[in-house]
Amino acid sequence: MSSAEESRQAKVIDELRVFIKKVLSDPTIAVKSVEIARKYRNQPNANELIAREISANTTIRIPESWSRADHMFLDILDEVLDDEEALY
C-alpha cells in the first residue's frame, strides 16, 4: 500500500472517529439523520438534500464537496432504510 493511500485511509478513519464521538455525545443525531433520510430518500438528488438538512439540523457538517467518510455515512443511512423496509 502506498503512503498516499495510507494517508487517505488515515484521514477517513479520523473523520469517522469525530463523527462517532458526535453521535455518542448526542444520541438525537442518529434518530434525526434517519428521519431526514427517510423524508428525502426517493427524491432526485436525495443524498444532496439529506446532507444539507442534516448539516442544518444537527452538529454533523457535510460540506458541499463530500469526503469518502461523508459518502460512507450517506450510504449507511441508505442501508439502514433498506433494512427497515425489509422488516416490513
pLDDT average per 10 residues of sequence, the chain (88 residues): 86 88 91 96 95 95 90 93 86
pLDDT the model gives residue 68: 87
pLDDT the model gives residue 41: 93
pLDDT the model gives residue 49: 97
Q: How far apart, in whole angstroms, are the C-alpha atoms of residue 56 and residue 83?
A: 26
71 lies in which domain range? 3-87
* pTM to 2 decimal places: 0.83
Give the count of domains, the chain: 1
CA distances from 83 to 17, 28, 37, 86, 87 (A): 24, 20, 13, 5, 6
What's the distance, Cα to Cα, between the start and end of the chain in Å? 43
pLDDT the model gives residue 87: 75
